[in-house]
Amino acid sequence: MLKQERRKQIMNLLEKEGRIVATTLSQTLNVSEDTIRRDLREMDALGLLQRVHGGALPRSTSAVDYKERKRELMDVKHSLAVAALPLIKDGQVLLMDGSTTNIQLVKAFPKNLKVTVITNSPLITVALAEHDFVEVVSLGGTFRKESMVTVGQSVVDTLKQIRADLCFLGVYAIDPKIGMSIPLLEEMHIKSQMIKSASEVAAIVTAKKLNTSSTYTFSSANSLDWLITEEHVNETVLNAYREIGIEVITNK
């Protein structure tokens, strides 16, 4: 079998199954495991998939730059944000990073909500300016223009001194086995510490981010208490998250 034919079959199987295992793939395609591993390594370098231990996952196709992300699936993100609102109670201290879903969430806050929001997102700070009963704590640091968030050791150090009730975490890619990952090293450190600094963690995740992976893994998937996602996602996919202790909420 020619390399290009083999790679086409690999991509077809990845799309169909959602993940591929090198040992199984070598038997299916009747080639050595070394050949499969070399294929996966080269395909990873080309950005066709994300190689992980023992096989590969789909690579997340989500945009990294904020200007692109804010145009993606905004109606869906608003719907998911509304589905997440019941998790928030008066008096809570909330940690929020600068995901576009989190911006939709704060825009959906009731005007009489009384909470404290701690965030590294200037956009979330501005969005909450007209909420009279929301106290906003802005985490200073180096402003990353592409993501519209502050990053750096000063942000991490401040987060270490905080104990929030609930963290709403932006997720670039998530897989029940591999965990949550992101292509940006600086933001990886922020997200990792936000999880450690909160009693409970929720993530609003569009369907296309499920069962995908990226470069830097910052936490296991079961760090989440709640996963809020789209109602059309296959139950088999959702059950894999439920089985590791995550409560799944959909935008019904």
Mean pLDDT of 146-175: 95
Mean pLDDT of 156-184: 95
pLDDT at 65: 61
Tokens of 12: 């077809």
Would you kindly state where each structural domain of the chain is located, as residue ranges? 3-58, 66-250
CA–CA separation, 66 and 187 (whole Å): 13
pLDDT at 53: 81
Q: Is the pLDDT reported for residue 66 higher than 60?
A: no
Residue 32: name the closest of 59, 1, 61, 9 by CA.
Answer: 1
Angle (deg, nearest 10), helices 100-107 and 74-84: 60
Tens-digit pLDDT profile for residues 91-126? 999 999 999 999 999 999 999 999 999 999 999 999
Q: Which fold has domain 66-250?
A: Rossmann fold (3.40.50)
- Give the mean pLDDT of the chain: 90
Name the band, by pLDDT with cuts 50, 70 and 90, for residue 237. very high
Q: Look up the CATH number of domain 3-58.
A: 1.10.10.10
Domains 3-58 and 66-250 share a fold: no
Helices first, then strands: H and E counts in the chain: 10, 15
